[in-house]
Each structure stands twice: as structure tokens, then as C-alpha cells.
Amino acid sequence: MNLNPREKQPKMHDGWYINEDGEKRVQSMTFPNNHQLKGQPKGIKQVLKERNLWPMKEIRFTYEQCSKKCDDINLKRVDCYT
């Protein structure tokens, strides 16, 4: 699953989660027919927004194997050497 929609990604089956009220909620992994992206797969950002789990400010993804290979922490660094 990619961060955003419109990126090349497989169509996934609907999923489910337990909401804050303890109820099981089915969540579609594609946009509904009344949406401009109808039938297209959602990105992880959209899925987490629908679950109220996407942070309001910013989020940083860290690749754990890379983060331990550098003494300096540069959040803009995207390379990883072994």
C-alpha cells in the first residue's frame, strides 16, 4: 500500500477494525462510486484518516535498518548503505 492514491498499487480486499466504541467497522480499500477516484485503491494516508489515526501535524517514516547505520540523524536522508 502506498502513501497516496493514484500511485501504482494493487487493489486490496476490504478490511475491518474495532473503533473507539468497541464496534467492528468494515473499511473499503477502494474509493466509492460517488468519488472522483471511484474504484481506485486508497493510499495508507486515506485509510488512516478514515480511522482517525493520521496525525494532524506531520509524520515521519523511518526505516529501522537504516536509522541504526548512521551516527548523524538527517531526516531528509533517503539512502541506506550496508
pLDDT of residue 81: 47
pLDDT of residue 57: 66
In the chain, DSSP finds a helix count (H) and a strand count (E) of 2, 2
Element (H, E) at 67: helix 64-67
- Residue-number span of the structural domain to which 30 is assigned: 1-82
Identify the residue with better confidence: 10 or 74: 10
pLDDT of residue 10: 80
When divided into structural domains, the chain yields a total of: 1
CA pair distance 16, 8, nearest whole angstrom: 23
